[in-house]
Amino acid sequence: MAADGDPLAELTASVRAAAAAVRGGVGEPSAQPRLERSRHQAQGDYSTNAAMLLAPVLGVGPREIAERLGAEIEGLLGEDLDHAEIAGPGFLNLVMTDGWHRRALATVLAAGDQFGAGGAKVCERTVIEFVSANPTGPLVAASGRHAAYGDALARILEHHGHSVWREYYFNDAGNQIRLLGASVQARARGAALPAGGYQGEYVVGLASEIDGSATVDVDVVAARAVELLLAQIKATLVRYGVRFDRFFSERTLREGSPSDLEQALALVEGRGHVYRSEGATWLRTTTFGDDKDRVLVRSNGEPTYLAADVAYLQDKRERGFERQLMPVGSDHHAYVRELKATIAALGGDPETLEAPLIQFVHLVEGGQAAAMSKRLGSFVTLDDLLDEIGVDATRYFMLQRSHDRTLDLDVELARKKSRENPVYYVQYAHARIASMLRRLPDERVAAAVAPDGDWGEAELQVWERDLVKKLAAFPGELAEAAERRAPHRIAGYALELAQVFTSFYENCRVRGAEPETLESQRIALSLATGRTIALALGLLGVSAPDSM
């Protein structure tokens, strides 16, 4: 079986080799033939669309090609293949032998915690910048979606074989920070908030926490408030299980002489993409597909947020990342075009920047959605949510749905410790496996999963075959999740694996199964499933408890 621990790698390779042999060097198919899990039992274990892809190339009917393909595959797979059959418009369905299933299971076990790892063709040096909420308030529930997404994606990409650096970029200078300082001072003085000021309850807390908040310079108050809020944000992230390699301060880009910001602006100006008009300095982003040019330095001499980003993007370029991921909220989505134009203006390739769109989160309870605006002060913080439903449920629910769709998070459901709650269902399957294996002597389990273990020759039950195939699908699922930046696929996979296992568990007695070789095989299946559930949950940042 394949060295990389993918039980399907060999099968896929055989299908492609057979397709190539049938094609005999003639023409070029429109796509690589695919190996798919059959949806219905009558359609075998796996199927391939290769014949239908080759039909237009060879000018022969797909069913006739499928026949030749079947002959080739039979030769290549030997004893792994029970038989192949042609079906529908030209699918070739493959029915695998019990021996193949047992070998697949052995491959899963041999891979250990590296199961599904290293599928990336090349290792990309990747930086993922996420959350990046400004320290003008505590993290809100919506930030929990960004944090869960970015962190899970980072874990998935690493397991897939990329090198990932996690960064949190925060704005600690400029208008909003000044406004924060003024808001705190106003509270300290019992005065009215400035126009558009921060109204949250935490601002009152900061006013009393900061020494001399009513009297010292407002910039000092602002700096202290940022410090306190940033510490609070970091604490929340730690609690949430989200690790960053670096918190990048925007202010540092403005410090020194010349500052990084000044140097970056000089760089784009030297490349001829800067001009002055109406007293302001502009970046000609329209050269690179933006719909209008953007201001870098305001007419009052103050650099814009974009100016800082020019410097930040240049900084990342200089650090040699080959791929930049920057999940953004839908409210900031339009800004991505400016950033891509900026990269181009710096002489880089805008295609190296990817900005997956993260849609809003609505907390639902009794049909009521809570608003989450920092400035209006009516919000649910991430800490509130974690207090309410816990880290595991929060992360799982945040990752359950595709990131580019708005998410209705049902707090009432997430709080439940019952079968209705998918995260408990998955964790329960893991706990059940651990509990069952605990009742066996360690040596018994070790012998059952040893490379030379004997699993006998008994005909596999349908539940056993299904479980092996679900396990074997993991490397492919992981690759999809990584390549499509879609952690929710792992959440879906974990739920399905738990379902298939539970069905197996209800129908196939493990402990005490006769003969002993059958018990060994089922122990091996259970252990492999437990590990894979733990692996999948781990990629999502959700714990896999041994007892519940």
Within 410-439, which residues bind RNA (CB under 7 A)? 410, 413, 417-420, 422, 424-425, 428, 431-432, 434-436, 439
C-alpha atoms less than 13 angstroms from C-alpha of 53 in its C-beta half-sphere: 20
Q: How far is the CB of 187 from RNA (least distance, A)?
A: 21
User: What Rg, from alpha-carbon coordinates, does the chain have?
Assistant: 28
Tokens 């992360």: give the residue: 395
* Residue bearing tokens 């209006």: 376
Contact 310, 265 (CB under 8 A): yes
Q: Given the complex with RNA, which of 76 and 436 has the nearer CB atom? A: 436
Amino acid found at 520: S
- Type and span of the H or E element at 353: strand 353-354
Please select the residue that binds RNA; options are 42, 122, 192, 195, rule is CB under 7 A.
Answer: 42
Q: How far is the CB of 483 from RNA (least distance, A)?
A: 8
Nearest CA to 170 out of 219, 221, 135 is that of 135
| Residue 517 binds RNA (CB under 7 A) | no
477 vs 479: CA distance, rounded Å: 5
Of 406, 446, 450, 457, the one binding RNA by CB under 7 A: 406
Does 465 bind RNA (CB under 7 A)? Our answer is no
Among 13, 17, 56, 217, the residue binding RNA under the rule CB under 7 A is 56
Identity of the residue, 189 or 509, whose beta carbon is nearer to RNA in the bound complex: 509
- CB of residue 280 to RNA, shortest distance in Å: 4
10 Å Cβ neighbour count for 371? 11
Contacts of RNA in 128-157 (CB under 7 A): 134
| Single residue of 189, 239, 271, 405 touching RNA by CB under 7 A | 405
Of positions 114, 215, 330, 373, contacts RNA by CB under 7 A? 330
Q: How far is the CB of 507 from RNA (least distance, A)?
A: 7
Which of 357, 343, 325, 358 lies closest to 483 in space, CA to CA?
A: 325
What CA–CA distance (Å, rounded) separates 327 from 312? 16
Please identify which residue in 392, 489, 528, 532 interacts with RNA, judged by CB under 7 A: 489
Instruction: Note whether 484 binds RNA by CB under 7 A.
Output: yes
Query: How do 163-170 and 246-249 pair as beta strands?
Result: parallel
Q: Does the footprint of RNA cover residue 285 (CB under 7 A)?
A: no
Restricted to residues 159-198, the positions that interact with RNA (CB under 7 A) are 171, 174-176
Residue with Cβ nearer RNA (247 or 305): 305
The stretch near RNA (CB under 7 A) out of 119-127, 223-231, 256-264, 333-341 is 333-341
**Binding-site string for RNA from residue 341 to residue 370, where x marks contact by CB under 7 A and - marks none:** ----------------x-xx----------
Name the token pair of 468: 């092996």
Q: Could you say which of 53, 139, 148, 153 contacts RNA (CB under 7 A)?
A: 53
Residue 79, exposed/middle/buried by CB under 10 A (0-12, 13-18, 19+)? exposed
Q: Compute the residue count for the chain.
A: 548
Residue 96: strand pairing partners: 81
| Residue 391 engages RNA in binding (rule: CB under 7 A) | no
Nearest partner of 536 among 6, 155, 243, 145, judged by Cα: 155
